[in-house]
Amino acid sequence: MSPTPATSDTTRTTSGPSAPRRRLARGTPDQTRRRRRTLRDATTAALFLLPALILIAVLRLVPVVQAASDATHSSLPGSALPPQWVGLDNFTALWHSDTFWTSVQQTLLFNVIVNPLQIAIALALAVLLTQNLPASGLWRTLVFLPAAVPMTGSAVVWGIGLRPDGPVNAVLGTVGIDQQPFLTSPHQVIASLILIASWIGVGYWMIFLIAGLNDIPQVYYEAARVDGAGPLRRFWSITLPQLRRPLLFVLVADTVSNFVLFAPIQILTNGGPERRTSFLMYDIFHNSFELADPHTAAAELLVLLALMIAIVAVQFRLLGEAEDR
């Protein structure tokens, strides 16, 4: 494991002026030594790489293989009897399951709205908080704070807040707005979850965008100002293009995290009302643990994986185009 032998070897061969000459004189043994050194270097490299490779295998490859194996077997839910090979039956069952299609549809709907919205708000906040406002550090901290609260905690608090007889409705009542059902209504539940997820996420993504904004050289803005560009023009022509890379990072990472959003659903809605929040990630958990059917869950998981890979691939294409310019 220790890199010491390789280092000392290097030191020895380059230590004196006579070294190259000696190597020339004794060609064959020197080649042997070099070969041995290459071998030793390779061994050292392998040893250094080994922990990472083991982790990749154990944490990434093995689970995928096992998911594929689980997805092609079936047994009575939770059964202690050995599962049977069923080929693609689990996928066929999913194809015919209304519950599954509702999950796919609602997952996509949620993500189509939540991701652009979160990024737009995070960007607006980032731009605002890099404008030399007084106490901007304080504002940034306040906006970032929800990201530092454990998600389960915020979910519970929001659950109480959004109860039909809860404090949010009390506040709405004082300004003359009728009581809203929020999480208990199939028409408002997605919007309520978007509110909760964004309250948590916006401050976090904002930090990345602030870092990106601070990276844009001021000279661009100065030059644009000299050319007579207004604030909107400067935003479209300098800020946005220069921010493309951090923005695309935020887009991909935010999409991934929203696709696997789980805690608020498990805590607040259990997939309801009318299965409107039965997102794929939640449904996978539900099938695997609550209905004791890991085979259906594994099949569903592979579908989610494929869906995410497809969407992230599209986003990378955008990233690639951005870098080509």
**Side chain identity, residue 136:** S
Question: How many residues are present in the chain?
Answer: 325
Q: Which residue number, 42 or 274, has a Cβ lying nearer to other proteins?
A: 274
**How many other CB atoms are there within 10 angstroms of residue 241's CB atom?**
13
Nearer to other proteins, 70 or 140 (CB): 70
Residue 266: CB minimum distance to other proteins, A: 10
The amino acid at 288: S
Distance of CA 58 to the CA centre of its chain: 20
Residue 24 or 165 having the CB closest to other proteins: 165
Taking the complex as a whole, how short is the minimal distance between the CB of residue 323 and other proteins, in angstroms?
A: 6
Q: Give the nearest distance from C-beta 143 to other proteins in angstroms.
A: 23
In the complex, least distance from residue 48 CB atom to other proteins, rounded to whole angstroms: 18
Shortest spacing between CB 160 and other proteins, in angstroms: 10
146 or 181, CB closer to other proteins?
Answer: 181
Choice between 38 and 99, CB closer to other proteins: 99
Query: Following DSSP, what letter does each residue of 72-117 receive, concatenated?
Result: TEE-STT-SSPPEE-TTHHHHHHHT-HHHHHHHHHHHHHHHHHHHH
Residues 142 and 146: their CA atoms lie apart, in Å, by 8
C-alpha torsion sign, points 259, 265, 266, 272:
negative
Residue whose CB is less far from other proteins, 140 or 295: 295
Q: Which is nearer to other proteins, 206 or 251 (CB)?
A: 251
Within 10 angstroms of residue 154's Cβ, the number of other Cβ atoms is 20
User: CA-CA distance, 249 to 252, in Å (whole number)?
Assistant: 5
CB of 238 to other proteins, least distance (A): 6
Smallest gap from Cβ 196 to other proteins, in A, equals 15
CA 161, distance to chain mean position in Å, is 27
Query: CB of residue 47 vs other proteins: minimum separation in angstroms?
Result: 22
Closest to other proteins by CB, 51 or 164:
164
Q: With the CA atoms of 229, 231, 233 and 236 taken in that order, what torsion angle do they form, in degrees rounded to the nearest 10?
A: 140
Q: Which of 85, 197, 86 is nearest to 146 (CA)?
A: 197
List Cβ<8 Å contacts ≥24 apart for 188-191: 189/269, 189/272, 189/273, 189/276, 189/277, 190/106, 190/109, 190/110, 190/113, 190/276, 190/277
